[in-house]
Structure 1
């Protein structure tokens, strides 16, 4: 007996959601605990170096399992055609139309939309990963030719994409009529406080990250140093130069340092500002 695990994350024109992948993991773990050999077929768009459906000949398997997602459409029906000699089971799936050939092609269907079955993803093990808030500066024409924003952001986002972490794009700009943005600074600092680390090229990404008690990987996008470097000096917090953005070893080291760094930024005194105003009266 050998099982091929499939799902929407197996199709070239499918999609790999967190729920899909966790459901395949849960099914695979259950098979492994039972001592049943199995392979997982992945979409080449999601995992290019893994086993894909064309690499999984029907003669290698006795059973095919389709896990998670709605059972409908030509891609699911194609499994019945390719693996016609295998026993086919759908588990943890939604069944919008019980008479759809995509559904009736399975020998057995174990649905999740029967009102009494919990989703398969709940059975999968997960590892806690660091959460990185990413605050990138917009183009800043005031720095003229010294601005290296595009090159710095390309290097930073390329580095971030390769990290085993959750990445959360954040924007310091506020809006009262856009649900995707915070409406008040209090909301934004509260959001920052839920991050493990902030990665930023923006002055207020650095300042407000530290204000929220979160360590910050700060990179100045201006060659020779601009306001991010100056503010880092004022706060006693290290800031990487624009040319350092392409040094992944240095970025890795700074991120590792941030994971345990103490955060206690100085609070400026406004006494001089008030005295200056009073003195002008």
Structure 2
């Protein structure tokens, strides 16, 4: 479908002349559904298009994913004239219940997959604009042209739950818990950057050079592993390191060798301490300091000229 989304939606709304508020839904609205990046971008595209057309609307989200709402359960049918179902397959009991609850609304599915033309989930809509319907004109997937916001930092995460040799000094579990909950709240793109190599799974790198290629594309490494720190610095990537051993161990020792300052002892581990070093690592000063460590490491540990 070559027309812009605003034009498509505007035409639908004018054609059916149903005044009133519009409710935007999708699989991202169901409590037991799932929210994918494609779903969220498709919802954004539709919401933006409605906004440009001056159409009052709400986007209903799963309360599991977005506890601050608005939630589908709170979207009273009598408050809406039209319902838009965005993205995903038209299949399943959740969609049948949507038809039942919003029976008085005009219902349109847009950017969806049609599994069975005769299924009540499909025929229950007054109009279907599909992305993969057999024998019909198709529209481009909504996520492809959705508005995007500025890129977020790409952050690698390399944690260890082992190292039993440290015995009672181990704080690896608590370090992982604190880092995990803290990272989940950071506005960044996270990627697991486990230093382990393997030959039988795509989830891990097979060679050290593959791993360096991965790490070199990061904006920041967060790790409690020695080689998570060293290999990131070798590629010139800033590292926010946590020493998970009480009293300090190899992470702190090697940070001293290369004079890398962004190391948090497990005794001082807190979101505030992590936030402070996060800001520094992503600053121009932190990036330049990491580039200097790369030079140091590739020279085999020769002294740095100057400070951090």
Calculate the TM-score normalised by the size of structure 2: 0.85
Deviations 1:42-90 (A, max 9, x none): 1111111201122111110000000000001110111111011100000
Distance in structure 2 (CA, Å) of the matches to 1:162 and 1:123? 27
The SS at the match of 1:168 is strand
Is residue 91 from structure 1 mapped to residue 110 from structure 2 by the alignment? yes
161, 177, 186: which one aligns with 2:200: 177
Q: Report what 1:133 is aligned to.
A: 156
Once structures 1 and 2 are overlaid, which stretch shifts more, 65-74 or 255-264?
Answer: 255-264
Q: Report what 1:253 is aligned to.
A: 276
Is residue 244 from structure 1 mapped to residue 284 from structure 2 by the alignment? no
Q: Which runs of 5+ in 2 are unaligned?
A: 1-19, 302-308
List aligned pairs for 1:258-273, cutoff 5 A.
258-259=281-282, 260=284, 261=286, 262=288, 263=290, 264-265=292-293, 266-267=296-297, 269=300
Distance in structure 1 (CA, Å) of the matches to 2:203 and 2:55? 45
List aligned pairs for 1:167-246, cutoff 5 A.
167-238=190-261, 239-246=263-270
Q: Report what 2:93 is aligned to.
A: 74
List aligned pairs for 1:32-71, cutoff 5 A.
32-71=51-90
| Alpha carbons 2:77, 2:101 under 8 Å: kept | yes
Deviations 1:189-233 (A, max 9, x none): 100011110000000000000011100001100011000000000
Distance in structure 1 (CA, Å) of the matches to 2:96 and 2:249? 58
Kindly report structure 1 stretches of 4+ aligned residues shifted beyond 3 Å.
none
Q: Which runs of 5+ in 1 are unaligned?
A: 271-281
Q: Report what 2:4 is aligned to.
A: none
List aligned pairs for 1:152-171, cutoff 5 A.
152-171=175-194
| Alpha carbons 2:31, 2:63 under 8 Å: kept | yes
Distance 1:19 1:177, change over 3 A: same
Q: Report what 1:275 is aligned to.
A: none
Is residue 117 from structure 1 mapped to residue 139 from structure 2 by the alignment? yes
Calculate the TM-score normalised by the size of structure 1: 0.93
How big is the alpha-carbon RMSD for the aligned residues of Structure 1 and Structure 2? 1.3
Distance in structure 2 (CA, Å) of the matches to 1:61 and 1:205? 52
List aligned pairs for 1:141-156, cutoff 5 A.
141-156=164-179
Shift of 1:122: 1.6
